[in-house]
Amino acid sequence: MPEQPKSKKAAPLELPVAYLRGIGPRKASAFRSAGVHTLRDLLYYVPRRYLDRSLSTQIGSLRGETKDEITVIGRITETQMTRGRGGSTRYEAALEDGSGTLTLIWFRQTNQIRKWIKEGYTAAFSGKVTNYGGTLQMAHPESMTLSRGEMEDLRDGKGRWVALYPGGKEFDKVSLDVRGLRTLMDRIVGEYVNSVPEIWPEELRKQYGLPTISQALEMVHRPRNKQECDLGWKRIKFDELVIFQLLWAWTRRRNREKVKGIAYPEVGGLTRKLIEDILPFKLTDAQRRVMREIWNDMKQPFPMTRLLQGDVGSGKTVIALIGMCIAVENGHQAALMAPTGILAEQHYITSRKYLDKLGIPVDLLTGSLTEKARREKHEQLAQGQPGIIIGTHALIQDKVRLPNLGLTIIDEQHRFGVAQRLKLMEPEQSKGRGLDGSDLARPDVLVMTATPIPRSLALTLYGDLDVSRLDEMPPGRGKVKTEARNADFERMKVYERVSKRIHKGDRAFIIFPLVEQSEKLDLAAAVTGHEELSKGVFKGIEVGLLH
């Protein structure tokens, strides 16, 4: 471990960056756009990635095919699109690095690739080199975009590792390019890193193998090797995780001691009838276990805050129905918020299918309603009659009042921001008062997700929530296998795998994610994707579009 850095200066960590030498008002404005306001912020403005010069190969040193993948760094100097028989296309690009030229070639998604791999494009390309007719080429390489300054730093930068800081348009406006930003950060770290006080005792640091915070920041900003860099990041991540856990522990304790909740007295006859007579199937052991966990929460005088995780088809919707039935039967309103209008309508139809038989009112509130219909819904909800309301973001509009809200369920909770989740959790959704004008209790909250989250990660990200898992599928439903792939590097490999399965007689669904909570943008992405895929990697395969 390196010695404790010896900073030239000590300065108040809350000193505005504009007062630091070499920054000034204009550059300070650029830093503010990135959330950096003080010296403390600047010292924690850590690199977004690193380039290791030892991993790159000069093109001129290549003597033939390579058994393993290599990385070459250079600039695109020439491109060419060639069309073959049957409408097939091939896109070629010449990559130069000053020592030689390498041909890059793509046979798939050529129209999309040529939009960003153009003449002047600078990047690091990784893949195996092959010899075709005496020409060295790299087919379908993975790429990492580089600025010209980043490329030069890889060639002549000090040391083997080069730190790359997040920049942006605001930095470009003040002529603070990649190299300039790194030079500035190098000086700031050298002068002020020792100003950051140590918060952990030496005994604890030794126990977990942690450097001091000054050493860690030095390692992260100016690493000499990967091991040193990883050790610095280990300390920074340790600090963040501990702070998160302390915050969540304080929040949970506060919720249980200070926040008024709703203690439900019983599971009534309607709920039992739903489970025993109306549902056309028996609950799985996992569903029964989860319902016991939820009911134990709902009986308490403090509000429930629970995360329900289960694969698609594991039965989360049934859990939501039973929970909402308990709330309504005990005289309260229940709200279910979904990320899209289509999903909200699906929940509405499913709820009506079972709950109409119990006489429990179910309403739908989405942004597609007419102004008159929306106003009537608002007036009806404001009366606070027991019932279920299902909707989208329309549920958290300022005009919506739910004065008798007892249970909030948020489906696909990762699609909502923290502020949106909190709005349905807080009594302010009912303007802080119940129907009788008394202080309003906070409703119970159940958030649901199909995203597979490891337990340790769930406790970190959602430490304020108890976690329930549906780890058993209902009879007749297949087991779901979930894999994550790097979209930039492995998208084509995934599509090729899908194509092979389709040719074996299987079906595939490709879902384009919601962009910035806009269903119109979501639709646009799906339409564009459908066009590119049907004309590209899935050419000759029937590709439909559902929206």
**Considering the entire predicted model, what is its pTM?**
0.62
**Could you tell me which residues come within 8 angstroms of residue 7 by beta carbon, excluding any fewer than 6 positions away?**
190, 191, 192, 193, 194, 195, 214
Q: Where are the beta strands (DSSP E) in 43-134?
A: 49-52, 70-83, 89-96, 101-106, 122-127, 129-132
| Secondary structure letter of residue 277 according to DSSP | I
d(C-alpha 481, C-alpha 391), whole Å: 30
Task: State whether residue 378 is helix, strand or coil.
Answer: helix
Question: Among residues 199, 238, 232, which one has the least CA distance to residue 47?
Answer: 232
Worst-scoring range by mean pLDDT, 117-131, 184-198, 215-229, 347-361?
Answer: 117-131
Worst-scoring range by mean pLDDT, 97-111, 212-226, 430-444?
Answer: 430-444
Which DSSP helix (H) or strand (E) runs through 534?
A: helix 519-535
**What's the first-to-final CA gap in the chain, in angstroms?**
56
d(C-alpha 401, C-alpha 405), whole Å: 9
Rounded to an integer, the average pLDDT of 42-59 is 82
At 416, is the pLDDT very low, low, confident or very high (cuts 50, 70, 90)?
Answer: low
At 358, is the pLDDT very low, low, confident or very high (cuts 50, 70, 90)?
Answer: very high
Q: Which tens digit of pLDDT belongs to each residue from 488-523? A: 557 778 888 898 899 899 999 888 765 433 444 445
Q: Which tens digit of pLDDT belongs to each residue from 170-222? A: 887 887 876 678 889 999 999 999 999 999 999 999 999 999 999 999 999 99
| 6, 191 contact by CB (below 8 A) | no
Tokens, residue 488: 């930039």
Tokens, residue 490: 């492995």
Q: Which tens digit of pLDDT belongs to each residue from 329-347? A: 999 999 999 988 888 999 9
The pLDDT score that the predictor gives to residue 124 is 82
Find out if CATH 3.10.20.30 is the number for domain 55-152. no
pLDDT at 256 over 60: yes
Please state, as a whole number, how many other Cβ atoms lie within 10 Å of the Cβ of residue 525. 15
Question: Among residues 456, 501, 5, which one has the least CA distance to residue 213?
Answer: 5
Residue 269 or 146, more confident:
269
> In terms of C-beta density within 10 A (0-12 exposed, 13-18 middle, 19 or more buried), how is residue 250 classed?
exposed
- Rounded to 5 degrees, φ, ψ at 268 are -85, -175
Domain definitions of the chain by residue range: 17-48+165-242, 55-152, 269-470, 487-535
Q: Which tens digit of pLDDT belongs to each residue from 361-380? A: 999 988 777 888 888 888 88
Side chain identity, residue 301 = P
Find out if CATH 3.40.50.300 is the number for domain 269-470. yes
Q: Output the DSSP codes for 146-193.
A: --HHHHHHHHH-SSSEEEE----HHHHHTT--HHHHHHHHHHHHHHHG
Question: Among residues 181, 240, 232, which one has the least CA distance to residue 209?
Answer: 232
Which DSSP helix (H) or strand (E) runs through 293?
A: helix 285-298
Q: Quick check: do 55-152 and 269-470 share a fold?
A: no
Residue 435 or 236, more confident:
236
- The label of the residue with tokens 């030069």 reads 152
d(C-alpha 200, C-alpha 209), whole Å: 12
